[in-house]
């Protein structure tokens, strides 16, 4: 176990978060758009799900133009304040996930460095609301007896929809990212040395 992460490791963790945050936001916006059209949960069809799966591990700048255009269009379908809240919640969850996944490689001082480095993303005051990051943004996940239900509740609050099928569907899509994508990436980052 290392006491501190290297600068390269910190940058790699932040890069991983920057890859998956837009994908999470896109998943949420896509499901919300289907839901708002029908007012019932309509799972995205296989073609759309397949297209989204191709984005995993791809930086936003390298997404196909038609998907980026769809992402921007969907982003404009909600008020800016709501988009900021949804995006902040996605970042909170990814920071929690990255911190938790990194903890098996780092002592307490190193874990604190990881969290401080990742929370630095909220320093751009033009992008985030003044209250971000909220004081409890990390502890609400860390202290939760069930991270999945906490994610469901938090997503329901920020998207302003309480349909349990919708919020559970969204949480399933997002909760799988740490397990299937971030965990192998974090293992690779810390095993590289």
Q: How many CA atoms lie within 13 A of 5 on its CB side?
A: 31
Q: For the whole prediction, is pTM greater than 0.85? A: yes
Q: What's the confidence (pLDDT) of residue 137?
A: 87
Q: What's the confidence (pLDDT) of residue 138?
A: 86
Q: Quick one: tokens of 88?
A: 């902040």
Q: What's the confidence (pLDDT) of residue 115?
A: 94
Q: What's the confidence (pLDDT) of residue 112?
A: 93
The mean pLDDT values, 10 residues at a time, for the chain of 193 residues are 90 94 92 73 61 88 93 91 93 95 94 94 88 88 92 91 84 90 93 69
Q: What's the confidence (pLDDT) of residue 42?
A: 53
């Amino acid at each position: 176990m290392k006491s501190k992460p290297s600068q390269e490791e910190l940058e790699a963790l932040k890069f991983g978060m920057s890859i998956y945050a837009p994908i999470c936001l896109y998943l949420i916006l896509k499901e919300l758009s289907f839901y708002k059209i029908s007012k019932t949960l309509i799972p995205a069809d296989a073609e759309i799900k397949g297209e989204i799966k191709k984005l995993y591990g791809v930086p936003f700048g390298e997404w196909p133009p038609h998907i980026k255009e769809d992402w921007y269009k969907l982003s404009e379908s909600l008020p800016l304040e709501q988009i900021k809240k949804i995006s902040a919640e996605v970042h909170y969850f990814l920071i929690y996930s990255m911190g938790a996944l990194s903890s098996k490689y780092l002592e307490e001082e190193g874990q604190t460095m990881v969290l401080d480095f990742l929370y630095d993303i909220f320093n751009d005051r033009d992008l985030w609301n003044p209250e971000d990051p909220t004081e409890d943004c990390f502890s609400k996940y860390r202290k939760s007896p069930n991270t999945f239900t906490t994610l469901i509740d938090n997503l329901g609050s920020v998207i302003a929809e309480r349909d349990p099928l919708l919020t559970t569907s969204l949480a399933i899509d997002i909760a799988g990212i740490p397990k299937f994508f971030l965990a192998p990436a974090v293992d690779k980052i810390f095993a590289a040395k």
